[in-house]
């Protein structure tokens, strides 16, 4: 349950620069308004390039001359464990903030925040077991793992706390210093982390948190004193960042868009598919890069699947994100909701058959940024609605004839982030999984391990996050011969 003051306004008029709260140099401020009713959620300082210069200079000095990169890995782990404990104590308040900022239902933000200690624990286990310096069997070679340097971590608004910590935690454990650039839609929960890291004992200079718009973000990633860029967001922006990183030969990791396919095999339990797809396609308002937004169904079971999905989608409660009964809240902005509705309209005009939802705004929700959960069927995989990331509560059903056809359709995408298969034969599901070109894959909706790498093929990104693979993204290897 949200606290009684869950909707209370929260203001952060200063930026968190190297562990100190500082007024923005150019006096920028940002009003954050609820996408549910446009009420004022809070006010945050807004960074400009001059603030970026200050934050990067602080991070550079802390990396080049400060204690954090020179601490033993074990001492850094102690600080992160303290932060982990503090975040657990404050998780309800931060979950409330995120719901107020971006409209994600409170049940989902609460679930995400409860998982953050588990995510951090996985990084801590990786750091504890990693051979930071090892002597090779030849007796004259030492291999060291050293921090990459100053990290620019740029995150989106849809799962802001998870997106921040999946970068900041491994970067800090590696010994890096970090400038975290949070989205202008969700600055408050990001800035709330500052005091927690300070209380945990993070030295001055090691972490800055800057809300900023796109132009300032681009200035940050192109800054000559940034050694590594870690980005989560759209594929289009990822291409721009990759070009900047390529020109400057910076390290870069990109977690980008997706158009994941779930394959329903003929032997699947359709009730289980229906229940699973409610979360996989419509969870987090459908604003998820790993959403299973394409459902591939054998023609022999298409009608059955449509009936179950129609009933499920019609029963989804859309409304106030703080209401315990709400499954889908408002989308983050009005222009984004309009964009999602335009995709739905284009899909119908392109030949898809609407069986639930639609492009009309839900009734009775005022001026909120709401979109009906929508299901389209008889979709051809060549249609734009099957190929473009919509980032909203829209599922398309694509019929197939043979299993080989289903595998071909699943792989026929510019993306390769996630996917799944539904079958009563788990061993056969594993055979299917081995044929799909994606970074993660779920058999019968199984949960993703926080120890295991996650990332994308093709237009879904470069590099991996979580666990040991995520930690190694922030390390350089040095070989010493003696």
DSSP state of 439: S
Q: Which two tokens stand for residue 373?
A: 């959960």
First to last CA, the chain: 61
HSE on the CB side for 105, CA within 13 Å?
A: 22
Distance CA 132, CA 13 (A): 40
Element at 227 (helix H, strand E): none
Query: Which residue blocks in 20-105 are alpha helix, DSSP H?
Result: 49-65, 73-102
325-338: string of b/e by CB count within 10 Å (b at 16+)?
Answer: ebbbbbbbbeebbe
Domain 10-256+460-481 bears CATH identifier 3.40.605.10: yes
What pLDDT does residue 3 have? 43
Q: What is the arrangement of strands in the sheet containing 475-481, beginning at the earlier edge strand? A: 133-135, 141-147, 475-481
pLDDT in tens, the chain (482 residues): 334 467 778 899 999 999 999 999 999 999 999 999 999 999 999 999 999 999 999 999 999 999 999 999 999 999 999 999 999 999 999 999 999 999 999 999 999 999 999 999 999 999 999 999 999 999 899 999 999 999 999 999 999 999 999 999 999 999 999 999 999 999 999 999 999 999 999 999 999 999 999 999 999 999 999 999 999 999 999 999 999 999 999 999 999 999 999 999 999 999 999 999 999 999 999 999 999 999 999 999 999 999 999 999 999 999 999 999 999 999 999 999 999 999 999 999 999 999 999 999 898 898 899 999 999 999 999 999 999 999 999 999 999 999 999 999 999 999 999 999 999 999 999 999 999 999 999 999 999 999 999 999 999 999 999 999 999 999 999 999 99
Contacts of 368 (CB under 8 A, 6+ apart): 35, 36, 37, 38, 103, 330
8 A C-beta contact, residue 305 and residue 297: yes
What pLDDT does residue 6 have? 75
Distance CA 91, CA 40 (A): 22
Q: Which two tokens stand for residue 68?
A: 């954090």
Q: Which two tokens stand for residue 319?
A: 């409304």
What pLDDT does residue 2 have? 38
The domain segmentation of the chain, as residue ranges, is: 10-256+460-481, 261-448
Residues recognised as catalytic = 255, 289
DSSP state of 478: E
8 A C-beta contact, residue 376 and residue 397: yes
CATH for 261-448 is 3.40.309.10
Query: Which residue blocks in 175-234 are alpha helix, DSSP H?
Result: 187-200, 214-221
């Amino acid at each position: 349950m949200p606290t009684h003051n869950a909707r209370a306004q929260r203001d952060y008029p200063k930026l968190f620069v190297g562990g100190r709260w500082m007024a923005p140099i150019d006096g920028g401020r940002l009003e954050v308004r609820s996408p549910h009713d446009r009420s004022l959620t809070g006010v945050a300082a807004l960074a400009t390039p001059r603030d970026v210069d200050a934050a990067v200079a602080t991070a550079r000095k802390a990396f080049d001359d400060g204690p954090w990169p020179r601490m033993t890995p074990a001492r850094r782990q102690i600080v992160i464990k303290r932060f982990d404990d503090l975040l657990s104590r404050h998780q309800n308040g931060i979950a409330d903030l995120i719901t107020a900022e971006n409209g994600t239902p409170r049940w989902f933000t609460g679930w995400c925040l409860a998982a953050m200690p588990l995510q951090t624990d996985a990084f801590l286990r990786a750091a504890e077991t990693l051979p930071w310096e090892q002597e090779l069997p030849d007796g004259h070679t030492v291999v060291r793992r050293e921090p990459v340097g100053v990290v620019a971590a740029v995150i989106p608004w849809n799962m802001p706390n998870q997106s921040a910590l999946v970068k900041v935690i491994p970067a800090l454990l590696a010994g890096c210093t970090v400038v975290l650039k949070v989205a202008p839609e969700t600055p408050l929960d990001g800035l709330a982390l500052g005091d927690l890291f300070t209380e945990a004992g993070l030295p001055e200079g090691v972490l800055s948190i800057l809300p900023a718009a796109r132009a300032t973000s681009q200035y940050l990633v192109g800054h000559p004193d940034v050694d590594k860029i870690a980005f989560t967001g759209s594929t289009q922006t990822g291409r721009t960042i990759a070009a900047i990183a390529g020109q400057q030969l910076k390290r870069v990791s990109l977690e980008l868009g997706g158009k994941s396919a779930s394959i329903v095999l003929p032997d699947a339990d359709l009730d289980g598919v229906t229940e699973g797809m409610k979360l996989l396609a419509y969870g987090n308002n459908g604003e998820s890069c790993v959403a299973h937004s394409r459902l591939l169904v054998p023609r022999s079971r298409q009608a059955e699947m449509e009936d179950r999905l129609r009933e499920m989608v019609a029963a989804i409660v859309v409304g106030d994100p703080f209401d315990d009964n709400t499954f889908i809240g408002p989308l983050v902005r009005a222009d984004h909701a309009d964009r999602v509705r335009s995709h739905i309209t284009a899909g119908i005009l392109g030949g898809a058959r609407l069986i639930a939802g639609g492009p009309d705004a839900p009734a009775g929700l005022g001026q909120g940024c709401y979109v009906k959960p929508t299901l389209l069927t008889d979709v051809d995989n060549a249609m734009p609605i099957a190929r473009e990331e919509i980032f909203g509560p829209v599922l398309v059903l694509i019929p197939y004839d043979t299993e080989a056809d289903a595998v071909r359709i699943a792989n026929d995408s510019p993306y390769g982030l996630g996917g799944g298969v539904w079958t009563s034969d788990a061993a056969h599901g594993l055979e299917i999984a081995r044929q799909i070109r994606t970074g993660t894959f779920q058999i019968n909706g199984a949960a993703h391990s926080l120890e295991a790498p996650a990332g994308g093929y093709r237009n879904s990104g470069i590099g991996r996050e979580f666990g040991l693979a995520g930690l190694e993204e922030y390390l350089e290897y040095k070989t010493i011969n003696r």
